[in-house]
Chain A
Amino acid sequence: MIETAKLTRRFGDRLAVKALTLTVNAGEILGFLGPNGAGKTTTIRMLAGIIAPTSGHAMVAGIRPDREPERLHEVIGLLPEAPGFYERLSARRNLQYFAGFYSNRDIATQAEKYLALMGLQDRRDDRVASFSKGMKQRLALARALLHEPKVLFLDEPTAGLDPEVAREFRDLIKDLSGEGRTIFLCTHNLTEAEQLCDRIAVVRTQLIALDTPENLRQRQFRRQVVVKLESVDDDLLKAVGDLPFVQDVQRQENRLTVALSDPDRDRPELAARIVQAGGRILEISEERRSLEDVYLSLVHEEEAS
């Protein structure tokens, strides 16, 4: 649904996006992560046909954004970083205005439908200036959906929202994905990315990594199990270290952190060997690295290189 080939954008001497090549499949949620200034918003703007690339190209829903932006805009929806409404006009009037640019749509019906879906029907005639940030964000999502787009670009959709509203928003995004829409989600919230995204792209001007959260985790960190024991002595440590499938073992007081080639397969045998060596196991669990660990590791690696 989205394809980019060496997509590059410069602003004067500054390189904002460098040779970005990626593919997003239809119906997929792609998380687009990166530090501030990594080129996330610039990428969204290029893909949404708002700014042109310096070189390279993109295809979104079979349309070149730089060549046919008007045709593209009929099939994409954008939720920008700042919601952007005419604050002195009502929520309904704002939606009607934006809906008025699309072809073959019943403006009034679509506006009412999405005001209701976002829980704003009771406030539809109120000025947007009186809305909270969460309400504005919901209204902005309603605006992005008015014309039933196939592809949605969401730039920091939950930034600045309170946890409850952010959760509602995530549920809405899941529902939209369930309807078969392709979602390009730009976020700093790694928990959100992990919960929502099928795949994650980490960028810092250029693409650092692109894979499922699980594959990124495995690629970046070895899988390890943590064994808590009543006590640990050198014999026990040696017995564990001698096991053929153990890649590494670290001791921290009465705790062993063991790197295994396949924890699901090797964990029972590891437990049996510890018991055989006289160890008394209190707890055994797999150490699961967070997406935040993966992200930071990727970004720092790139920084170092």
Chain B
Amino acid sequence: MTARRVLNVLRKEWAVMAASVSNLLYVVLIPLLLTGQALFLIWLVSRFVAGQTATAAMLQAAPQATAGVLPNLSAADQFRVLLLSQFHFFLLVVPAMIANVFATLSIVEEKITRTLEPLLATPVRTWELLAGKALSGAIPAFLAAWTCAGIFVGAAIGLGWGHLLRFILSPTWYLTLFLLTPAVAVMSFVLGVIGSSRASDPKGAQGIAVVIVFPIFALIGVQVTGLVWFTPTLTLILALGIGAIDLVLIRVAVRLFQRESIIVRWR
């Protein structure tokens, strides 16, 4: 019964999302734009910096862990590997944004259409409702991230960087894609729900949600700026840590999703 209800919520969320061209475009276009932008920047930077003295200086500044495993590559290729290796972390923006958009739109939709009251008069439990909503946001979020990763790999081969993939598709890459991405998608969605639940109106919900996901962007920032270099072990610890936080956040979200206050306060 529970699985049927969760699936029921999930199918409805997708149907509502698919019925809105603007929402659908947002979910499809944002990941593609981010991937295209990342590739373009990598191509641009590596084209103009390759072979120049600045490359060597920048590589020297890069963490020894990375520089040390690329002994047989030219300075230009080493630089490309360095840049391309940032992509999987940069890709975390996709699940963070998509899941958050799903969360706020989903809760705000219930408010605007005033469907929450008849919905809460059915036997659905709060956690079933939130689980269905969370999956409806998390699944497209990490599917989009994986699709973007596939496009990225294809584009890298197309740009003649195929021989570098064995350095880029590292354990960290796979751990990020298949553990960290879903964990971040769930976290972003749940934070969006918490923000939406506490807001007194739909605009406030979106505002709070944006602020709440900021730490996820900060996480991406510390990696791409090289402040912290995520090794496979560190990535695994981070993914498991976020997964654990997700479990706590889900419980918090269920507690904070106070049916009464949403029905009574949101007018």
Contacts and interface: CB of A to CB of B under 8 A. Distances in A.
A146 B238 CA distance: 47
A269 B242 CA distance: 91
A18 interface: no
Interface of B: 1, 4-5, 8, 11-12, 15-16, 19-20, 109, 113-125, 259-260, 263-264
A288 to B, nearest CB: 38
Contact of A73 (B1, B8, B121): B121
Contact of A88 (B16, B116, B260, B264): B16
A102 B116 CA distance: 16
Contacts of B122: 73, 98, 101-102
A45 B8 CA distance: 24
Q: Is the interface of B mostly helix, strand, loop or mixed?
A: helix
B114 A100 contact: no
Nearest to B16: A86
Contact of A50 (B114, B115, B123, B260): B260
Contacts of B118: 78, 80, 83-84, 98, 140, 143-144
Interface in A57-76: 70-71, 73-74, 76
Contacts of B115: 84-86
Nearest to A78: B121
Interface string A93-132: 1000110111100000000000000000000000100000
B8 A50 contact: no
Contact of B12 (A51, A78, A86): A86
Q: Interface of chain A, helix or strand or loop or mixed?
A: loop
Contact of B8 (A49, A71, A97): A97
Contact of B117 (A50, A73, A102, A103): A50
A87 B109 CA distance: 10
A103 B1 contact: yes
Nearest to B23: A88
A74 B259 CA distance: 18
- Most chain B CB atoms below 10 A, which of A49, A89, A97, A144: A97
B92 to A, nearest CB: 30
